[in-house]
Amino acid sequence: MKSKPGQNRSGLLAGGNWIIDQVKIIDVFPKRESLANILSQSQGTGGAPYNVAINLAKLGAPFPLAGAGLVGKDALGTAILEDCQRHKVDTKFLKATPAASTSYTDVMTEKADGKRTFFHNRGANALWKGEDLDFTKTKAKIFHLGYLLLLDALDAPDKKWVTRGAGLLAAAQAAGLKTCVDVVSEDSNRFAQIVTPALKYTDYCILNELEAGSTTGFKIRKADGKLDTVALRHAAGAMLQLGVKEIVVIHFPEGGFARTRDGKDFWQSSLNIPAKAIAGTAGAGDAFCSGVLYGLHEGWDLQRCLLTAVCVAAASLSDPTCTAGVKKLEECLALPKKFKVRPPLEPND
C-alpha cells in the first residue's frame, strides 16, 4: 500500500464486521434442552463499521461516510449495500463475495433486563484482509476498525506487523488518517496476541470496561460488581503505554472515561434511563463510540465528546436493534432534560 501525507481530509471510513442482526426478544434465557418464548423479532444493523456509519448518518454528521469490508452475494448482503446507499454511506471499499455468506447474528434479548446472548455466524467477515483498501484513494480523516478478535483474516499473524490488522492500521496512519479501534467482548486469552500489536498503530482506542480489562490484565469490576475507578484509570494508562498515540476512551453502563496522552482525565456519567424505557442494549457501545467519533472529527473537547456519546447511547436503548433508536443529534442531546444525568462518577485515588 502506498503512503502519502494526509491533507484536507474529511470524513470517516469504517472497516471490519458487516453483520445483520436478527434481534429476538425472549421471556427468559432457557437452560439447555428447555424452551424460551420469542415475544417479538426485528432485523437491524450489526458490527462496528455498520453501526457507527449508520448512527453517524442518522445523527446528521456533516462529513462523508464510507464503509470497507466484505458481504456475501446474497439477500442479506444486498440489504446492507442498499441500506448504506439510503444513508449515503460510500460502498466503494465494501465488496460482495461469492465465497461466503453475509455474516449474521441471532441476538437473544431477555425482556426483563435487556441482557443479550449472541449466536454469531462469521460469514464473509472472516475472509476480509483489507488488501484492496488503498488509503491514498480516500479523503477520510478517520479510519475506524472493528472488531478486532472477530475478523479471522485480519487477526491472523503477520511477519512484519505481528498481525494483519496492525499492518492495516499502520498503512492508514502512513497515509495521514487518524486510526480508531474497537474490539469484541470475548472470554479468552487472545487479547495480548491480537489487540496489543494493533495499539501501536492506534490514535484513538474506544472500548468497554471488560475489553479494557482483558487487554491490560486489570479487574475493573469489584467483587460486588461496582466499578473500580482506580483499576479503570490504570487500564487506560496501560493502553497508552502499549502504544495508543492520543486517547483511550472506556465506556460502561455508568458512563464513560477518557485519558489523553498527556495524562488528562475526563469523566461523564450516563443518563438515568428507567428500565421500562429500555427496549434493548444491543448496539449501545457502538452508539457511544459514534458520539465520540463525531466529536473527535469535529475537533470538540473531550468532555463534550463524552456527553454526546452517553446521549447517543441512551437514544439507542429505545429500540431493540443497534441503530433504529438513534435520532438527529439535537434530539439525542435533549435527552438529559427528560431523563437526567446520573450522579457524577467519583474517581478514587
Give 120's contacts (C-beta < 8 A, 6+ positions apart).
19, 103, 104, 105, 106, 150
The DSSP bridge partners found for residue 108 are 24, 117
335 within 8 A of 271, measured Cβ to Cβ: yes
pLDDT for the residue 348: 63
* CA dist 314 → 107, 253, 322, 330 (Å): 19, 10, 12, 13
Q: Are 320 and 39 in contact (CB under 8 A)?
A: no
Q: Determine which helix (DSSP H) or strand (DSSP E) holds 304, and give its type and residue range.
A: helix 302-316
> Whole-angstrom Cα distance, residue 309 to residue 303?
10
Question: How high is the pLDDT of residue 211?
Answer: 96
Q: pLDDT (tens digit, 9 = 90+) per residue, 152-162?
A: 999 999 999 99
| Per-residue pLDDT, 5 | 47
Total of domains in the chain? 1
Give the single-character DSSP code of 156: S
CA–CA separation, 71 and 95 (whole Å): 6
- Point out the residues of the chain with pLDDT beneath 50: 1-6
What is the pTM for the complete model shown?
0.94
CA atoms of 109 and 113, how far apart (whole Å): 8
The DSSP letter of residue 29 is P
Q: Is residue 111 part of a domain?
A: no
- What's the confidence (pLDDT) of residue 6? 46
> And the C-alpha cell for 327?
435520532
Q: How far apart are CA 129 and CA 132, in angstroms?
A: 8
Q: Is residue 114 part of a domain?
A: no
Closest CA to 133 of 15, 6, 236, 38: 15
**Enclosing domain of residue 144:** 12-17+48-100+125-339
Q: Is residue 67 part of a domain?
A: yes
Q: Is residue 196 part of a domain?
A: yes
Q: Is residue 38 part of a domain?
A: no
- Tell me whether residue 108 is in a domain: no
Identify the CATH number of the domain in which residue 86 sits: 3.40.1190.20
Instruction: Render pLDDT for 121-174 as a digit per residue (tens, 0 to 9).
Output: 999 999 999 998 999 999 999 999 999 999 999 999 999 999 999 999 999 999
92 lies in some domain: yes
